[in-house]
Structure 1
Amino acid sequence: MSFRFQRRIKIAPGLNLNISKSGVGVSAGIKGATVSAGKRGLYGNLGLPGTGLSYRSKLNKEESRRQPSPAAHLRSYLEAGNELAVRISVESDGDVTILGMNGEAFSDNELSVIRKYLGDTIRDALASHCEVMNSNLEELKNIHKGTLPASNHSNYEPRPFNSPRPAKSKPLSYGLWGFIWPPQKRRITELNQLLEKEHTEALKRWNSEKKKHFELEEKRKKLETEDIFESQNALAAVLEYYLADIDWPVETLIDFDFGDDSSTVAIDIDLPTEDQFPDIEYKVPGRQLKITRSRINTTRRRGMYRDYAHGAALRIAGLIFNHLPPVNTCVISAYTQSDEGDVYLYSVIVRRDEWEKLNFGLWNESEPVTLFDHFTFTRNMTKTGIFKPVTPLNLDSLN
């Protein structure tokens, strides 16, 4: 049985910044996130009257030449400590584009003013964003740090229904004009009726989604607290659920097969090859408003690949022994695909009683490679982290 997880690292082009008082967030896919910036700092999703393009739209370029230019207006505005809402996007080459809130371009003179007064703020935001994106590389080598201890009982936890109840809009007021002119009153009445209808329909959908959510939770509760002790299909469903719940930093293909009595399970992990592994770091060079990308060195990438390959197996073993009480032993193997076929990097046999003896208090300080020493495994790896093919263990090896 197999299934595919889509947990891909997607780093630039099209990276976006979402900046607020609490820090910098990252979203991928949609180009251009709202940034509000001023001499006193950054504020997320903030458009104040008289700022951004609404401010610029008030500048009449056809007025007398004696009037200050738009750039001069903007300079005075920012010097006064006001905020300016702009949109920032980073192109595939790392160059930064600064636009108005509606996507309209600033003139060269206006951009010069923005860079002068908001440059440090934007640069700090870009640097913070680079730190977030670079942290994905650290997650690759630290995937084992989320590993769970063993448990002999179900660890089902209900998921809350987080969708907020639709708010009811306040009825539109008739106003004085509505009382003295019947057509206006009818129009307001129709609009209020439409708002009421839309709220009723939204509430109906919300109640339906809420009911469906709790029905699914009841099924999941039964699956995890009762069915897993009686059915391999239930074990497989629970294993799939929690494997998909792991935030895999790279796309991962996993195959698994239970033994005849459900006390054993074999896992195969399809890993990317080392040269397919993420190896890009991002930084803001000097005082420039741009992001540059560079490859990490081979030694560092190989170390991250080695740690991820071992850490993935440990993470899966912890999931099995924490959420599948009937399973006492698992054999986990990792392989890569090549033109010559599947090439196995290692196989490890992990037993529940061995897992229960581990000191998880020291887990985060331990390297994934050394943690394999607690178990039976086959692996041919050089001191520098280069894997050589091995013959994988199988369920027969557990007897």
Structure 2
Amino acid sequence: MGMRFRKSVKICKGVRVNFSKSGASLSLGGQGHSLNVGGRGARATVGIPGTGLSYSKSLTSGHRSKSSRGYHNSTSANRETGAAVPSQVQLVMNAEGRVEIRDKNGALITDQSVIRKIKATDSYKNMVRNLETQRQEKLDEIYNNSIDDNSKFIDIYKMSPQVDNEEQYINILNSLRPPVYVKKEFEIIYPTEEHIRNILIAEARENVKGNIFNVGKLRREYVTANLQNRLNTAIADWEQKKSQFDMEEAANEVSQNERFNTEFIANKQYLINLINGEDEEVTNTVESWISSCELPVEIDVDYDWHKAAHIMYLDVDLPEIEDIPNQEIVRLTSGNLKEKKKSQATLKQEYVNLVFGLAIFISANVFNASPSIKGITISGYTQRRNKDGDINDEYVYSIKFVRDIFESSILKNVDPRDFCMRFENRCNITSSMLMKKIEPYAAEDGYASTDSRPVNKTALYIENNVQASDYISNEIVENSITDIKSREQLIMQSFANSLEQNNLAISYKTKRLNDGSLEVSYKGRVLGAINVENNNHYITYQMGNSGKYKQFDGEDNELAENTAKWIRYILNYI
């Protein structure tokens, strides 16, 4: 069970130096990558295996003096080396950066005169530098990939989505519109006299014969005699086809729009039922997500939706600690890499992060299935052997998540265990990170509370005469908008839409001031106020981050447009 993130990377395979009458030839790399340095200069060739594509680039001029050519061809020069140069040798750089020179059979060359001759060449020096650069780049790639792979496996919670609030669902519902069928354009070009004349000229050339003296006249007469009749026929044919096309498109428009409207009504009703927490829609949405979810670990999820309590119960078959890769790559002070076995303490800590991170990831996605899901009781179990050697399921945590805390949290930035411990839970973890068996919560254990968040009742309205009270808790808490006037609705709805368009959480709060104006704050920072009392209509907003406010007077729609200044303040200073 589970996926292992183990990758094999070969470094600097198959580096060779070949010698021939024309000089030494140094070759690097396996398939698709070689560098030959010979008597005619250096040329690098890089190919993409399996594609047939490659390019070459000259690295040196390859010019040699007469004396240097004589040196290579001189037998006395060979005698000066004190040893014969092998016809073929291999140059090998290992993962630690050591270079060895071997003969064609793989035996290490120890004759220092031959080694000195090879090492004295600029080609050898350049190649060693290139090999070292490539080696370091490859080591960096291996190290970074190993960190990323381990992080993706352990830190699944970082993939958790932002949990949407109820207002965002209702805004989506209100923005739904059925698509409208766009009729196709009639593409046949209207026949013109010029077009018909050209057709007749072509026909005359093909069919009208005569001698050199009268053939031109005969063809012109043919065109003139047939032009008007042919044009009238073409126009009548075009009009008939266009009339038939327009009739078909009109019928198609009616049928397609009926289909679009039927689908729209069904989709809108589905979303309404989802907001209401209807059993079928909620369970279908949750099951659809679970079945389509892909993770680097294999898990099973059982779920049970309790509509009356607004609670989803989840049982998760957790991965085992053995599913975590037990090897890690570390970088030595020399810059080289070493693979070593993780300590048991590291594996236990990573396992704790993994299983609590799974709880956060799964619950965040399930919360987003429906805003009616106010709480999630998630219990995780694993398989362990008892004293008799039998494998049994043992629960290791059971947590009662509350939606409003998820909505206000940036989940990718939390510590998985600390975040889960903020909620009512059953979990027994020792100081050595051993997760002991617990008894999970049952449905009859209930929740102390699933809704501690203020409800903005005026912003949560639904079109088509559906009452917001059908979807919203009746509980009113401090600073809820209970008396916003109809004019203020327009302004606040514009502000909410702007928040959504800028991917900002719709979580503002309002407070009625003594002068009758409505103060608006976001994440604890006062943005300004709106006042539509009597004939004095204005909106205030901060000037930069100075704490000073400027007033804009105008009509209601102008005040709504000026809530953009609040958005700008949020983006710049909050």
Of 21, 24, 27, 1:66 maps to 21
Aligned to 1:238: 285
- 1:43-192 matches, within 5 Å, as 66-68=21-23, 70-71=25-26, 74-76=36-38, 80=42, 82-85=44-47, 109=90, 117-147=130-160, 148-152=162-166, 153-154=168-169
The structure with higher relative contact order (CA 8 Å, sep 6+) is: 1
Q: Quick one: which amino acid aligns to residue 75 of structure 1?
A: V
Secondary structure of 1:384's aligned partner: coil
**Structure 1 residue 392: Cα displacement:** 0.9
Task: Label 1:77 to 1:316 Cα distance change in 2 as closer, same or farther (>3 A).
Answer: farther
CA distance in 1, matches of 2:38, 2:145: 34
**Structure 1 residue 343: Cα displacement:** 0.7
Secondary structure of 1:255's aligned partner: strand
1:256-275 CA-to-partner distances (Å, cap 9, x unmatched) read: 22225583221111112324
Matched, 1:377 2:377: no
Aligned to 2:361: 315
1:92-138 CA-to-partner distances (Å, cap 9, x unmatched) read: xxxxxxxx999xxxx86376677663342144124313311222222
**Structure 1 residue 344: Cα displacement:** 0.4
Of 341, 350, 360, 1:304 maps to 350
Structure 1, unmatched stretches of 5+, are 1-5, 18-34, 36-55, 88-99, 157-214
**Structure 1 residue 330: Cα displacement:** 1.4
Among the aligned pairs, what percent are the same residue?
A: 17
Aligned to 2:5: 10
State the Cα RMSD in Å.
4.4
- 1:328-343 matches, within 5 Å, as 328-338=374-384, 339-343=390-394
TM-score by length of 2: 0.40
Aligned to 2:436: 388
Structure 2, unmatched stretches of 5+, are 28-34, 55-87, 94-123, 174-259, 385-389, 448-574
Task: Label 1:80 to 1:108 Cα distance change in 2 as closer, same or farther (>3 A).
Answer: closer
**Structure 1 residue 143: Cα displacement:** 2.5
Task: Label 1:389 to 1:108 Cα distance change in 2 as closer, same or farther (>3 A).
Answer: farther
Corresponding pairs, count = 270
CA distance in 1, matches of 2:364, 2:40: 55
Task: Label 1:298 to 1:84 Cα distance change in 2 as closer, same or farther (>3 A).
Answer: same
Secondary structure of 1:336's aligned partner: strand
Aligned to 1:266: 313
Matched, 1:252 2:247: no
1:265-316 CA-to-partner distances (Å, cap 9, x unmatched) read: 2111111232442222135778899x75322211121111111111211222
Contact 2:383 2:392 in 1 (8 A): yes
Contact 1:354 1:374 in 2 (8 A): no
Contact 2:4 2:324 in 1 (8 A): no
CA distance in 2, matches of 1:377, 1:79: 73
Task: Label 1:129 to 1:65 Cα distance change in 2 as closer, same or farther (>3 A).
Answer: closer
1:214-253 CA-to-partner distances (Å, cap 9, x unmatched) read: x9xx899669735535753432332244446656332222
Aligned to 1:346: 397
CA distance in 2, matches of 1:279, 1:318: 29
Contact 2:36 2:42 in 1 (8 A): no
Secondary structure of 1:74's aligned partner: strand
Of 373, 379, 385, 1:327 maps to 373
Task: Label 1:108 to 1:328 Cα distance change in 2 as closer, same or farther (>3 A).
Answer: farther
Q: Quick one: which amino acid aligns to residue 352 of structure 1?
A: R
Task: Label 1:121 to 1:343 Cα distance change in 2 as closer, same or farther (>3 A).
Answer: same
